[in-house]
Structure formats: C-alpha cells, structure tokens
Amino acid sequence: MSFLKSSQKDIVGFLGKRFINWKVISGGRSRWWWRWLVAGAILIPLGLDWYNPFLLRYAILIEAVIFIVVLWLQWSGWGRLLSWLAASLVLLCYWASTFFLWLFLENFWYRLVILGLTAFFTWWYLREWQRLRLTLFLGEAGAGSTPTLVLGFISCFAFGSSAQSFLVFLSTPLWQLILAFYLPIAALIICFVYASGWSLIKHWPYWFSGLIIMLQMFVLVTWWPTSFYVVGFTLAALFALLALVLRQEAQGFVNRRFFSRELSLALAALFLVLLSARWF
C-alpha cells in the first residue's frame, strides 16, 4: 500500500532518475566552479609537505585522490577513451613534475610562485579540457595541441631541474633518473603527437624519433655543470622545438610565417639562456 499521491510519485521518480545520473561535483559546462575547487585542492599536498616534510606520504596520497576525482569528473565514455587517457596523462605529468620541483625548493618566494602557477595552470588546463572535450572529441585534429604544449613545456622544465637535483644531492643512478624523469617526458611527446592529429600506429616514426632525440639530450644535459634551472629550461626548449615541428608537419606547414616566428623565438630564448648561464 502506497502512502504517496500520484503527483508525489512523479516527483520522487524524477529525483530518483536525477540521482542516478548525478555526480557530487558536476563537470559540465554549466558547472564552472568545480575547476576552481580542484585548482585549490591541488595546493593542499604542497602545503602539507611545506608544513611538515615528514608528511610527504600523506601529501602524495591526497594528490592521488584528487587526480582520481578529476578523472571521474572528466569521463566522457568509452568512445573517447584514448583522448581521455592522453589528457589525463598530461595533467598527471604536470602535477608530478611540480611536486618533484617543490621538494628541492627552499626559498619562500619561489614556493609561493610555484603555488600560484600550479593552481592557475591546473584551472586553465581543466577549462581547456572541458571546452574542447578532451582534444579530439569533435574530430578536429590538433584542437588540443596548444594546452598539451604549454603543460608539456612546464613539465619538462620541472622534470629536468628535478633530475639534476636528484643527481647532485642524492647521487641517483642514471637508470633511475630515466625511469622517474625521462619516461614522463616521453609520455608527453606521445600525448602531444596524438593531440596534433597523428595516428600513433601509422605515424610511429615521428614520435619515436622524438623520443630518441629527447633521450639523448636528457642524458647529455643532466650532467651539465650549471644551474638546475638552465638544465630544465634546455629540456623544455627542446621539447617545444620538437612539438612545433611535429604540429606543423601534422598541419602540412599551412602557416609558415607563424611557424618561423615561434621557432625563432624558442631558439633565441634557448641561446640567451645558455649564453648567460653560469658554468662551474
């Protein structure tokens, strides 16, 4: 025997259907505020490590939980699995590189800058991820190459700086450096190639050549007797140069003037940094 009227049953049924499809924090276009929540939450692990370095394991656990939540919010179906994996891998590499770089920072103002940049670029990348629906959702090749390039550049800088820090301060073996710092860079190259519209199977020589070049340069520049940040910027600039060439190749070099300007700017910045660097 039911104690509900027909109108009440309709309301309960409607709420039940909404509850089934409901998420705790919606990632839709109408719910923009969840990106701010994630951008703020990702600062908690860094702040926890800042407060007490012995809480590092808990900081890593919190960051892992936040990442799982983001994956859940951005899920868009099995048909978009590869794009979802590529976009999530880029974000994971960015957070991991920031965390590695954070461990060796001692200057108060540098840490404040890292906090601000981490929050901002997390928010920005999530906005681009949502707006483009994981890069290739609309079938537009190269739609998400710019967000991938930006976060890839920052991640390579942080990974390169951290790798030399581990080498100098902890005498980390080279094979461990490659596993911890080069493999994420390799993943970023593959993700960028995919975001640029290439087929990872048909056009494997492109991303494989990029992996070989970056591996050679990673082993070389990590041992340079100079500042950690010079090493990081060198790897980041090399990643940007490879990414620019791969993106233009995927687009058939339709805008040669824009490509020449970007390439010249990257080369000029790399030349100025190496020229003004302090060599020991």
Task: Read off the pLDDT of residues 236-273 as tens digits, 9 standing for 90 and up.
Answer: 999 999 988 888 777 665 566 777 777 788 888 888 88
Give percent of the chain with pLDDT exceeding 70: 80
The structure tokens listed for 213 are 């070049």
User: What pLDDT does residue 31 have?
Assistant: 57
The structure tokens listed for 208 are 């494989």
User: What pLDDT does residue 135 have?
Assistant: 46
Binned at pLDDT 50, 70 and 90, residue 22 comes out as very low
User: What pLDDT does residue 146 have?
Assistant: 84
pLDDT in tens, 146-183: 889 999 999 999 999 999 999 988 888 989 999 999 99
Give the contacts of 216 (CB within 8 A, at least 6 positions apart). Answer: none
Give the contacts of 268 (CB within 8 A, at least 6 positions apart). Answer: none
User: What pLDDT does residue 132 have?
Assistant: 64
Domain locations in the chain as residue ranges: 32-276
Q: For residue 10, is pLDDT > 60?
A: no
User: What pLDDT does residue 235 have?
Assistant: 94
pLDDT in tens, 198-243: 878 888 888 899 899 999 999 999 888 888 899 999 999 999 999 8
Question: Secondary structure of the chain: what % helix, strand, coil (to 5)?
Answer: 75, 0, 25
Could you tell me the CA-to-CA distances from 42 to 67, 91, 150 in Å, in that order?
A: 9, 12, 19
